[in-house]
Amino acid sequence: MSNLFSELNDKQIQAVKATKGPVLVLAGAGSGKTKTLTHRIAYLASECKIPSHNILAVTFTNKAAGELRNRAACLLGQNPNAWMSWRGFGATPALGTFHSICARILREDAGVLGYASSFVIYDTQDQKSAIKQVMRLEGISPKDINPSTILGMISRAKNELLSVDQMRAQARGPIEKIAGNLYAIYQAYLKKNHAMDFDDLLMQSVVLFQKHPDILKKYQTLWQYIMIDEYQDTNTAQYEWARLLAKEHNNIFVVGDDWQGIYSWRGASIRNILEFEKDFKGALVVRLEQNYRSTAPIVELGNLIIAGNKGQMKKKLWTEKTSDFLPQVVLVADEVKEAEKILEVIAINAGLPRRPEYKAPRNDTVEEVTYDYESEGNKEPGILDKIMGTFSKSTKATSPLGLGANLPLASAALSLPAAGSLAQYSLSNIPFDLGQQKIDWNNFACLYRTNAQSRAIEEVLLKYGVPYRIVGGIRFYERKEIKDTLAYLRLLLNPNDGVSLARIINEPSRGIGEKTLGRVQQIARERDVPVLYMMARMDSITAVTASRMTTSQNDKRISPNRIQALKDFALIFERASHEINELTVKEIIDLILKRAGYIEYLKASGDDGKERIENIEELKNVAKKFDVLRGAEGLSAFLEEVSLVADIDTYNPQEGQALTLMTLHSAKGLEFDTVFLVGMEEGLLPHSNSLIDPAQLEEERRLCYVGITRAREQLYMLHTTQRALHGSIVSNVPSRFLSELGDEFVEFTEEGVW
Catalytically annotated residues: 33-34, 229-230, 260, 710
Question: What are the backbone dihedrals phi and psi of residue 597, each rounded to the nearest 5 degrees, phi first?
Answer: 70, 20
315 neighbors 26 (Cβ within 8 angstroms): yes
Longest Cα–Cα distance in the chain: 87
DSSP 602: H
Q: Which amino acid is at 515?
A: K
Map 6-36 to HEC letters: CCCCHHHHHHHHCCCCCEEEEECCCCCHHHH
In what order do the strands lie in the sheet containing 659-663? 468-470, 659-663, 444-448, 672-677, 711-720, 328-332, 747-750
Peptide bond into 400 cis (omega under 30): no
Map 360-385 to HEC letters: CCCCCCCCCCCEECCCCCCCCCCHHH
Which residues are paired to 7 by β-bridges? none
Measured CA to CA, the distance from residue 743 to residue 221 in angstroms comes to: 56
Helix (H) or strand (E) segment spanning residue 246: helix 236-246
DSSP 318: B
Q: Which of 485, 507, 495 is CA-nearest to residue 590?
A: 485
- How is 527-588 classified by DSSP, letter by letter? HTS-HHHHHHTGGG--HHHHHT-BSSTTSPBPPHHHHHHHHHHHHHHHHHHTT-TT--HHHH
Contacts for 551-556 with beta carbons within 8 Å, 24 or more apart?
551/513, 551/515, 551/516, 551/518, 551/519, 552/515, 555/515
DSSP 333: S
Residues 6+ apart with CB under 8 A from 594: none
- How is 165-201 classified by DSSP, letter by letter? HHHHHH--SHHHHHHHHHHHHHHHHHHHTTEEEHHHH
Counting beta carbons within 10 angstroms of the beta carbon of residue 283, is it exposed (0 to 12), middle (13 to 18) or buried (19 or more)? middle
Percentage helix, strand, coil, to 5, in the chain?
Answer: 50, 10, 40
Residue ranges of alpha helices (H) inside 48-138 are: 62-75, 98-109, 124-137
SS3 137: helix
Counting beta carbons within 10 angstroms of the beta carbon of residue 212, is it exposed (0 to 12), middle (13 to 18) or buried (19 or more)? middle
- How is 390-407 classified by DSSP, letter by letter? EE---TTS-STT---S-P
End-to-end CA distance of the chain: 64
